[in-house]
Amino acid sequence: MTAAKQAMRKSAKKYTGQWQWLIVLALFFAGCASQDRAPLLSSGAAPIYPPQAQAQGVEGEVTVEYDVTEQGLVINAVVIQSEPDQVFDAAALKAVSSWRFTPARRDGAPIAQQALVSKLSFQVGTRATDEPRATRR
């Protein structure tokens, strides 16, 4: 191979490496600049196991539907299913009402979300657990 060809290849490799970094950076910043996103749970309390139910060894689940405002506050929380009926409802509603979200965004602006659903589980011997991933129905 001639010296000129070797120099050309070396120069091409040099610039190819720079282009690869440029592509990686462009993709990274494009992902960061995404204008749309779902609401993200940022804070709030876990449900408190009702003492009487815990003492009796009662376990169950509560499914709660709620809306999240543009400010990330939970409103309109309602129980849509519970087992056993009404045993854990108040604890579940109190916990969900305490949750705060980073609001959903569309085109970069915060938006309200309706009909998000979370299932909260109550099991003896463990702290009541929640499924903080909000899903739309």
pLDDT of residue 134: 46
| Per-domain boundaries in the chain | 1-33, 40-136
pLDDT digit string, tens, across residues 79-111: 999 999 999 999 999 999 999 999 999 998 999
**pLDDT beyond 80 at 5:** no
Return d(Cα 87, Cα 85) in angstroms, integer: 6
40-136 fold: TolA/TonB C-terminal domain (3.30.2420)
Angle at 68 between CA 40 and CA 62, to 5 degrees: 85
- pTM over 0.85? The answer is no
